């Protein structure tokens, strides 16, 4: 793999800040329930769970996800882990939509070997997907990924 990616796309840290704020609000509701004297265990459990989620969201805000496109591969850095896939083994990239949600989906042998591949295929029709849109519309990201794939495999 080339050390210098040809293109780097970053996820927005702002959405993680919003998630952290929402978690903080729910945590405060849980703490208020815990302090109220009614449903104390449930209240403190809610507060603890959403405090944890808030910490994770703040960590993500400091270290947003990245998509690195190299000449023959692409690498996704998501939640502190890196996964690299080669374009030659990827199917074409498509956009899957369900209501207001949209994902860029594809097939790859790495994803086919994962335990949730059948569930992904049943829902989206493909075994793998990009974790989010990295600041661009899903259609634009799928087009960009297909252009990079075509260049990598020598298709026009």
User: pLDDT tens digits, the chain, 156 residues: what are they?
Assistant: 445 557 676 766 777 889 999 999 999 999 999 999 889 999 999 999 999 999 988 887 877 777 888 888 888 887 778 888 888 889 899 999 988 888 899 888 888 888 888 888 888 888 888 877 787 888 998 998 999 899 888 876
Which tokens belong to 119? 């569930």
User: Would you state the pLDDT for residue 5?
Assistant: 57
Using an 8 Å Cβ cutoff, are 53 and 18 in contact? no
Based on the fold, state whether residues 91 and 125 are members of the same structural domain: yes
Enter the tokens of residue 139. 């259609």
84 and 136 in a single domain? The answer is: yes
The tally of domains found in the chain comes to: 2
What is the model's pLDDT at position 128? 83
HSE of 25, CA atoms in CB hemisphere, 13 A? 5
Q: Name the residue among 153, 43, 8 with its Cα closest to residue 88.
A: 153
- Domain end position, chosen among 62, 79, 99: 62
> For residue 2, what pLDDT is reported?
47
pLDDT of residue 1: 44
Q: Give the integer Cα–Cα distance in Å for 121 and 105.
A: 10
The 3-state DSSP class for residue 50 equals helix
Shared domain for 25 and 87, answered yes or no, is no
pTM for the predicted model, two decimal places: 0.68
The predicted structure's pLDDT at residue 42: 94
Q: Are residues 83 and 31 in the same domain?
A: no
CATH number of the domain within which 134 lies: 2.30.29
CB 82 within 8 A of CB 76: yes
One domain for residues 78 and 115: yes
Calpha distance 127→7 (Å, rounded): 24
Query: What's the domain range around 23?
Result: 9-62
Q: How far apart, in whole angstroms, are the C-alpha atoms of residue 154 and residue 138?
A: 24
The per-residue pLDDT for 59 is 84
**Final residue before a domain boundary, out of 38, 62, 86:** 62
Residue 138 in tokens = 């899903």
Q: Could you tell me if 109 and 34 lie in one domain?
A: no
SS3 68: strand
Strand order in the sheet with 101-106: 94-98, 101-106, 128-129
Residue pair 92/105 in contact (Cβ under 8 Å)? The answer is no
* 138 in Cβ contact with 104 (< 8 Å): yes
């Amino acid at each position: 793999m080339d050390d210098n990616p040809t293109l780097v796309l970053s996820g927005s840290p702002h959405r993680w800040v919003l998630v952290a704020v929402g978690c903080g609000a729910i945590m405060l509701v849980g703490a208020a329930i815990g302090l109220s004297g009614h449903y104390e265990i449930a209240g403190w459990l809610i507060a603890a769970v959403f405090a944890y989620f808030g910490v994770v969201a703040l960590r993500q805000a400091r270290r947003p996800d990245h998509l690195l496109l190299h000449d023959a591969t692409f690498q996704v850095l998501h939640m502190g882990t890196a996964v690299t896939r080669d374009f030659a083994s990827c199917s074409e990239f498509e956009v899957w939509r369900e209501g207001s949600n949209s994902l860029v989906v594809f097939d790859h042998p790495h994803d086919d070997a994962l335990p949730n591949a059948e569930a992904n295929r049943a829902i989206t029709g493909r075994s793998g997907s990009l974790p989010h849109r990295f600041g661009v519309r899903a259609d634009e990201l799928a087009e960009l990924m297909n252009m990079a794939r075509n260049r990598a495999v020598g298709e026009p």
